[in-house]
């Protein structure tokens, strides 16, 4: 198993922490992982993205030419990364604020209305976990028990009382993800 993922959106949406939780979940089941953020001027008020690779074998390049999965949370990122998804790969996006929807025919496209779901849940901070849930529904590459263990490792202990809420958000994302186009 080797999964090369880009997670991209605005700074503040929890893009980097979602990637970290996913990577830590991989470590909890003895996978090799890399977490390679975009760092620098583009993070300040602009877009943020992180490339996460999970693999059963040693990972060579943390910079990849094309992605198995793109998790996209704003228009700029959709424009930038839709062309870089491997044929037959997966695109998950939140339609909130999207005016130009994905167009490729040879990839699987799913939407997750995570902004709406988070509002209904009454917790905007659960946003990225709803998106993570959508991904895990479609590609269950890490077991749920390891995601919880990954969460515990990723967030400070003073926030551990929020783990059940995060779990609830992940389950919500699993239910709310919708197929838009399948190959």
Residues that bind other proteins (CB under 8 A): 20, 23-24, 27, 32-37, 39-41, 60-65, 153-154
Distance CA 48, CA 58 (A): 26
CB of 162 to other proteins, least distance (A): 19
CB of 54 to other proteins, least distance (A): 11
Would you call 108 helix, strand, or coil by DSSP? strand
Distance CA 78, CA 76 (A): 5
Diameter over CA atoms, the chain: 45
Angle CA(4)–CA(173)–CA(141) in degrees, nearest 5?
A: 35
CB of 3 to other proteins, least distance (A): 15
Q: Which residues pair with 7 in a beta bridge?
A: 50, 71
Distance of CA 25 to the CA centre of its chain: 13
First to last CA, the chain: 21
CB of 138 to other proteins, least distance (A): 23
Nearer to other proteins, 60 or 120 (CB): 60
Nearer to other proteins, 24 or 93 (CB): 24
Nearer to other proteins, 59 or 98 (CB): 59
CB of 146 to other proteins, least distance (A): 13
Nearest alpha carbon to residue 20 among 110, 115, 142, 171: 142
Nearer to other proteins, 63 or 163 (CB): 63
Nearer to other proteins, 62 or 83 (CB): 62
For the record, the structure tokens of 60 come out as 């060579």
């Amino acid at each position: 198993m080797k999964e090369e993922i880009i997670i991209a959106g605005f700074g503040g949406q929890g893009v980097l922490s979602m990637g970290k939780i996913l990577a830590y979940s991989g470590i909890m089941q003895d996978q090799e992982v890399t977490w390679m953020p975009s760092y620098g001027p583009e993070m300040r008020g602009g877009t943020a993205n992180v490339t996460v690779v999970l693999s059963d074998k040693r990972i060579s390049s943390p910079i990849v030419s094309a992605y198995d999965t793109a998790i996209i949370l704003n228009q700029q990122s959709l424009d930038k990364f839709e062309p870089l998804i491997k044929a037959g790969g997966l695109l998950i996006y939140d339609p909130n604020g999207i005016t130009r929807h994905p167009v490729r025919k040879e990839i699987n496209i799913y939407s997750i209305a995570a902004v709406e779901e988070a509002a209904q849940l009454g917790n905007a901070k659960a946003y990225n976990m709803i998106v993570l849930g959508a991904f895990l529904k479609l590609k269950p590459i890490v077991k749920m028990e390891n995601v919880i263990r990954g969460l515990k490792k990723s967030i400070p202990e003073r926030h551990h009382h929020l783990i059940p809420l995060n779990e609830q958000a992940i389950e919500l994302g699993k239910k709310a993800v919708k197929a838009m186009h399948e190959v």
